[in-house]
Structure 1
């Protein structure tokens, strides 16, 4: 997962709360917020999983989140 895919996944899943969750919610596996974790180089995929765990996102909405739909020809 790329950083851009992480942000897209968070926006898609949490809508208006996305920015607040990324900036304010401390993720237990890292002892820091998602924004701080990104800044220190923790993999976006690991941060996404921790955020999903902490906010009880169902498993079916975790995999492939943040990816764009392929362009149609």
Structure 2
């Protein structure tokens, strides 16, 4: 198929729109580390770092290791 990739600006805008209603929105398979990670909805601390796989988890059990907010993700 001769369909070009979706422009990164469009993906970022879609992420911003989704974040208005959802807490854990990230983009996969994109350049820019800040778009691939999961952040605590309370303190905005990075709780899951991704490259193309999960590379670091900054949780204390199911809670943000910074503020204690419950992080509702399944790993």
Higher strand share: 2
Give the number of the structure whose alpha-carbon radius of gyration is greater.
Answer: 2
Higher helix share: 1
Q: Which TM bucket (shorter chain)?
A: under 0.3
Q: TM-score, normalised by structure 1?
A: 0.27
Q: Which has the higher contact order (CA 8 A, sep 6+)?
A: 1
Q: TM-score, normalised by structure 2?
A: 0.26
